[in-house]
Structure 1
């Protein structure tokens, strides 16, 4: 059972600390996808929840509309620490309300999601002046998804939604994040999606957060052969794997004429 409640907030718009992004909008606190590796668990300390991260979602009800004048000529991300199309969006429609307010506003918008629910708002998104959609995906293997993203839509649903948005003229990005060493096969994912992807973003798995122990236990239990690699990277600080992977990605994308961004850190 996922706890859900509504919370009043002054406004949905927040100045961003992300590079190249001016503002973010997170319509929810928490996320029911319950991804094992979620970096956003730090958000729990700003709430009074006792449930585990992934077992609660707060629906934000703003007291005032989005201050649209601030957004002119700016870059906006929806969302950075939640999925704007999580399961509760179907009922509450906070993200849809945000998009309706943004119609006609000269702002560059990036929506980031794992959910095919975004197809519901396809016409709204296509009507925005400058919008793109980034689908987060790091494996085509549904066994992996059930272990590490237990409540998120599977890869087939995400890719089908990407295709529909791309066919509707919406700029689509496949955000390969986070890349799991020894598990994520970037070439397989590119081959499965290149017909309807305008750009690829690549981000490595960061375990300098509260998810470290959960991921380590899951790797040890389900991928024991990868334990030495993960120890080298995350215990010993050996960045050789990431340097070689970044080189392989750049080489592959350059050879195949694929637009990409390296977001490794």
Structure 2
């Protein structure tokens, strides 16, 4: 039974428990009542001098084997974000710290250029936004994502971007030429069309309407966009699946995908705390559906199961998705991005070619 906790203004998580690697946990009564803590929690940003940037994975259920993250933590504050547990590695809480204690990597573009220039580097599509959003609010000030895009453009390197941020429109001048060469796709995550629900779940992310406007602007500029019904929440947003896909198609998206709500590690407790506070009448149904798809557990991390679950309910969602995509002419699979154009640009100190 979760205690009643009031949500801090414009934040997703309701609590800030220590990370799982913190052995000492001390609770002190400081005399403040919950009402006294009702003020908005300020965002602080630290800078990190990155020594490496490209992260490689061997997950068989992911369509990419490498990614970069310009930022650690995400101010969008999506309570369901599966990346929250990564903040524990920094000695910070996956709760409020994840969305208020951010880390920017201002030398990311410099390190990326160095890594792509290595003679041992073998080109393949690079994913950005698969952990934390590269177009979260602090990107307006830092511009790290834009700097990284400039490097990728210089190398003719293929890139797949996932975002909720409308700030992606700022970079159309870089994205459109890359898309024209077959080097880029963008995925825009859309969880619900209900503005009130979105504000509760994703307090600092653009509204659903604003995200759809971004899809329209990108596609009008010739940039291919996938609409991502992700995450789909059983008993809360799943009735909207067809409407989400239809809205994306109307905005210009040419492809679609879906992912079921994932609750790894600390995310489960944060989600259930949020659910009990905002939708107590639906909490039991939502969790029952999730456990039904994960063998009785809140989450099944097995490859091939973690994204969508299994069983009758998961299969039903899959059938609905396929039928909607067929009707709306949305592709489930898209052509691979080009890798044959990759080339290391001339750099200071290079020997000139004789021919």
TM-score between the two structures when normalised by the length of structure 2: 0.68
Match of 1:54 among 96, 99, 105: 99
2:150/2:174 contact within 8 Å kept: yes
Encode CA deviations 1:218-238: one digit per residue, 9 max, x unaligned: 333433443343232334536
Aligned counterparts of 1:107 and 1:235: Cα–Cα separation in 2: 41
Which SS does the other structure have where 1:53 is aligned? helix
1:13/1:23 contact within 8 Å kept: yes
Aligned to 1:229: 285
Aligned counterparts of 1:205 and 1:219: Cα–Cα separation in 2: 13
Aligned counterparts of 2:273 and 2:47: Cα–Cα separation in 1: 34
> Which structure would you say has the larger Rg?
2
Aligned to 1:120: 170
User: Paired residues, what number?
Assistant: 261
Match of 2:227 among 161, 174, 186: 174
Aligned to 2:116: 68
Match of 2:70 among 19, 22, 27: 27
Which SS does the other structure have where 2:262 is aligned? coil
Match of 1:131 among 155, 171, 184: 184
Distance 1:123 1:235, change over 3 A: same
1:143 aligns with 2:196: yes
Aligned counterparts of 2:58 and 2:79: Cα–Cα separation in 1: 24
Aligned to 2:205: 152
Which SS does the other structure have where 1:52 is aligned? helix
Aligned to 2:318: 246
Encode CA deviations 1:208-255: one digit per residue, 9 max, x unaligned: 331112222333343344334323233453643222111111122224
Output aligned runs, 1:212-223, within 5 Å. 212-223=268-279
1:39/1:210 contact within 8 Å kept: no
Aligned-residue Cα RMSD (Å) equals 2.0
Aligned counterparts of 2:241 and 2:147: Cα–Cα separation in 1: 35
Aligned counterparts of 1:105 and 1:8: Cα–Cα separation in 2: 23
2:234/2:289 contact within 8 Å kept: no
Distance 1:166 1:7, change over 3 A: same
Aligned counterparts of 2:78 and 2:286: Cα–Cα separation in 1: 19
Match of 1:189 among 240, 244, 248: 244
1:4 aligns with 2:4: no
Encode CA deviations 1:7-63: one digit per residue, 9 max, x unaligned: 111132222345231310100011111111111112112214466221111001336
**1:89, CA displacement in angstroms?**
0.6
Shifted more, 126-135 versus 206-215: the winner is 206-215
Distance 1:49 1:215, change over 3 A: closer
Shifted more, 208-217 versus 22-31: the winner is 208-217
Aligned counterparts of 1:231 and 1:163: Cα–Cα separation in 2: 35
TM-score between the two structures when normalised by the length of structure 1: 0.90
1:114/1:158 contact within 8 Å kept: yes
**Structure 1 regions of 5+ residues with no counterpart?**
none
Distance 1:240 1:96, change over 3 A: same
**1:71, CA displacement in angstroms?**
6.0
